């Protein structure tokens, strides 16, 4: 029977990148059949269920509309590869925890396994698209694996980095600043690049679809994240200076950001950046620089991560200093555990490190978060200390000596802080790691308020 669809697209890896990206392609291109496969059967079962494995605003609606129409989930990777014309690879590439490059280089084992599987199962020519963020020149390694036998099947490897941010993935996919496609500059490479561009051209204006060589594309993803993270580390470094000098970091950021050349975005001082990308990608960049003997360049980018570590340590120090140099036996409530609002993702969340430090100080922790409690439980599994996970923020805060805001959830701005204040142990402290609540108002209620990068407002 002739297929109803004019192109079979496969995505290997049903995670934060693969899931939303493929859902958007299926949504915008009903003429393509899109299949997502994963080695984890539980993940696939969740994608097929009413409760998706990831929380992302707007994702449920899109998946519901296209699932079974032209979007399919499966664990049959072999069949998926056999039937596909284009294969997106979005498996995880965490930082290596062992051997050469441990703590820095990307762990490419999942990715290499995928390359080998593509080689084994493919019986017709394929375009293979790197969607996972990978160190520069990984496409070449992928090509080496794919070209390692003479089966007659031809592969063209493309780099197509994903720039979506979690929490705004659907908006970012629907209306991207740019789509970047890197290909070999050969006739067949350029043809494959155009084939991929055709998919995006179904909804992205042509002038936002950029084509480059493969290495520039791979490097651009690392550099974009390094620049974004650098802005946060820069403003965070200034926030500490503001705390000492009684300047206000929000006002400084506003004044600085109004310079057209600088711009207002990504200048929110915080308890530190988190997420699966920034630290990992900068570490990759640093590793590449070191590999090429560019030690000063490596140091420069590494300092972005160092300031981020400093910011988290400084936050706990502020808490300790304010609370009479002891947290032992004190109940401390973390408002938020996700690395940012509108996601349940806690990968590399500053809350993890802060929670662990507070436990070391023998505080009793209570954690509340609208979406991330299951992940928080996993992150703190095996940590020896007194930790509770409570969904209701009022219940979580009751009896606490302090609240520490870790995530900028809108819900936390809208709580009845009079009620919370009355339920807390006095003197009550609030450490606003995201500068999201009304500090003056809370101070007037009786709270001792410690924002980021502004003078503390105390009633002591």
- Give the C-alpha separation, 100 to 225, whole Å: 24
Out of 56, 130, 166, 379, point to the residue binding ligand UDX (CB under 6 A): 166
The beta-carbon contacts of 247-252 under 8 Å, at least 24 apart in sequence, are 248/453, 248/454, 248/455, 249/435, 249/452, 249/453, 249/454, 250/435, 250/453, 250/454, 252/453
265-304 positions binding ligand ADP, by CB under 6 A: 276
Kindly report the number of other CB atoms within 10 A of residue 10's CB atom. 28
Nearer to ligand UDX, 166 or 364 (CB): 166
Give the binding-site size for ligand UDX (rule: CB under 6 A). 19
- Minimum separation from the CB atom of position 206 to ligand ADP (A): 27
**Residue numbers annotated as active site:** 277
The DSSP call for residue 420 is: H
Q: Where are the alpha helices (DSSP H) in 246-333?
A: 249-257, 278-291, 295-322
User: Is 228 near ligand UDX (CB under 6 A)?
Assistant: yes
Out of 9, 10, 11, 14, point to the residue binding ligand ADP (CB under 6 A): 14
61-120 positions binding ligand ADP, by CB under 6 A: 77, 90-92, 110, 113-114
Non-local (6+) Cβ contacts of 115 within 8 A are 89, 128, 141, 142, 145, 146
CB contact at 8 A, 168 and 21: no
User: Is 18 near ligand ADP (CB under 6 A)?
Assistant: yes
- Select from ligand UDX, ligand ADP, none the partner in contact with residue 370, using the beta carbon and a kind-dependent cut-off of 5 to 8 Å: none
User: Is 163 near ligand UDX (CB under 6 A)?
Assistant: yes
- Select from ligand ADP, ligand UDX, none the partner in contact with residue 268, using the beta carbon and a kind-dependent cut-off of 5 to 8 Å: ligand UDX
- Give the C-alpha separation, 196 to 386, whole Å: 51
Q: Is the dihedral of CA 390, 396, 401, 406 positive or negative?
A: positive
Residue 181's H or E segment, with its range, is strand 179-183
- Select from ligand ADP, ligand UDX, none the partner in contact with residue 17, using the beta carbon and a kind-dependent cut-off of 5 to 8 Å: ligand ADP
User: Is 302 near ligand UDX (CB under 6 A)?
Assistant: no
- Minimum separation from the CB atom of position 347 to ligand ADP (A): 8
- Give the C-alpha separation, 234 to 308, whole Å: 9
Nearer to ligand ADP, 105 or 430 (CB): 105
User: Is 211 near ligand UDX (CB under 6 A)?
Assistant: no
User: Is 340 near ligand UDX (CB under 6 A)?
Assistant: yes
Determine the Cα angle at 335 with ends 329 and 340, to 5°: 135
Out of 28, 39, 216, 443, point to the residue binding ligand ADP (CB under 6 A): 39
- Minimum separation from the CB atom of position 163 to ligand UDX (A): 4
- Select from ligand ADP, ligand UDX, none the partner in contact with residue 15, using the beta carbon and a kind-dependent cut-off of 5 to 8 Å: ligand ADP
Nearer to ligand ADP, 15 or 161 (CB): 15
**Alpha-carbon dihedral of residues 137, 140, 144, 146, nearest 10 degrees?**
120
Non-local (6+) Cβ contacts of 367 within 8 A are 333, 334, 337, 351, 355, 373, 376, 380, 387, 388, 389, 390, 396
Determine the Cα angle at 84 with ends 137 and 52, to 5°: 85
Out of 12, 127, 316, 367, point to the residue binding ligand ADP (CB under 6 A): 12
Task: Report which of 25, 45, 155 is spatially closest to residue 5, judged by C-alpha positions.
Answer: 25
How many residues can be counted in the chain? 460
The interface mask with ligand ADP, positions 373-412, x = CB under 6 A, is: ----------------------------------------
- Select from ligand ADP, ligand UDX, none the partner in contact with residue 273, using the beta carbon and a kind-dependent cut-off of 5 to 8 Å: ligand UDX
- Select from ligand ADP, ligand UDX, none the partner in contact with residue 113, using the beta carbon and a kind-dependent cut-off of 5 to 8 Å: ligand ADP
User: Is 5 near ligand UDX (CB under 6 A)?
Assistant: no
Out of 132, 220, 318, 343, point to the residue binding ligand ADP (CB under 6 A): 132
- Give the C-alpha separation, 29 to 169, whole Å: 18
Non-local (6+) Cβ contacts of 191 within 8 A are 156
Residues that bind ligand UDX (CB under 6 A): 162-166, 225, 228, 232, 266-268, 270, 273-275, 277-278, 339-340
């Amino acid at each position: 029977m002739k297929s109803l669809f004019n192109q079979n697209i496969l995505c290997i890896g049903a995670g934060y990148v693969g899931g939303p990206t493929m859902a958007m392609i299926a949504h915008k291109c009903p003429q393509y059949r899109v299949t997502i496969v994963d080695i984890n059967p539980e993940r696939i079962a969740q994608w097929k269920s009413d409760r998706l494995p990831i929380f992302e605003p707007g994702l449920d609606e899109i998946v519901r509309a296209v699932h079974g129409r032209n979007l399919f989930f499966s664990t049959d990777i072999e069949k998926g590869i056999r039937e596909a014309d284009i294969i997106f690879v979005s498996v995880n590439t965490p930082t290596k925890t062992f051997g050469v490059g441990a703590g820095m280089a990307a762990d490419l084992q999942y990715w290499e396994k995928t390359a080998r599987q593509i080689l084994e199962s493919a019986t017709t020519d394929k375009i293979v698209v790197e969607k996972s963020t990978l160190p520069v020149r990984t496409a070449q390694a992928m090509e080496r694996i794919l070209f390692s036998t003479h089966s007659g099947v031809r592969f063209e490897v493309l780099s197509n980095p994903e720039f979506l941010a979690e929490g705004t993935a659907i908006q970012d996919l629907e209306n991207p600043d740019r789509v970047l496609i890197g290909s070999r500059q050969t006739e067949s490479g350029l043809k494959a690049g155009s084939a991929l561009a055709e998919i995006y051209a179904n909804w992205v204006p042509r002038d936002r679809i950029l084509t480059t060589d493969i290495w520039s594309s791979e490097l651009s993803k690392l550099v974009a994240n390094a620049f974004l993270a650098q802005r946060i580390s820069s403003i965070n470094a200034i926030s500490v200076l503001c705390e000492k000098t009684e300047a206000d970091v929000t006002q400084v950021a506003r004044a600085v950001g109004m310079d057209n050349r600088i711009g207002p975005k990504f200048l929110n001082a915080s308890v530190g950046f988190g997420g699966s990308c920034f630290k990992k990608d900068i570490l990759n960049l640093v590793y590449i620089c070191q590999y090429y003997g560019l030690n000063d360049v490596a140091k420069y980018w590494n300092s972005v991560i160092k300031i981020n570590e400093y910011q988290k340590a400084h936050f706990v120090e502020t808490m300790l200093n304010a609370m009479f140099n002891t947290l032992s036996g004190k109940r401390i409530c973390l408002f938020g555990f996700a690395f940012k609002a509108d996601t349940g993702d806690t990968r590399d969340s500053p809350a993890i490190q802060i929670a662990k430090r507070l436990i070391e100080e023998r505080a009793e922790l209570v954690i509340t978060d609208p979406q991330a409690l299951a992940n928080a439980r996993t992150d703190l599994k095996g940590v020896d200390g007194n930790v509770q996970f409570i969904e209701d923020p009022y219940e979580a805060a009751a009896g606490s000596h302090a609240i520490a805001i870790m995530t900028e959830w809108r819900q936390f701005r809208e709580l009845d802080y009079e009620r919370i204040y009355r339920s807390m142990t006095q003197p009550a402290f609030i450490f606003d790691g995201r500068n999201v609540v009304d500090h003056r108002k809370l101070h007037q209620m009786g709270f001792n308020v410690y924002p980021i990068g502004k003078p503390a407002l105390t009633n002591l």
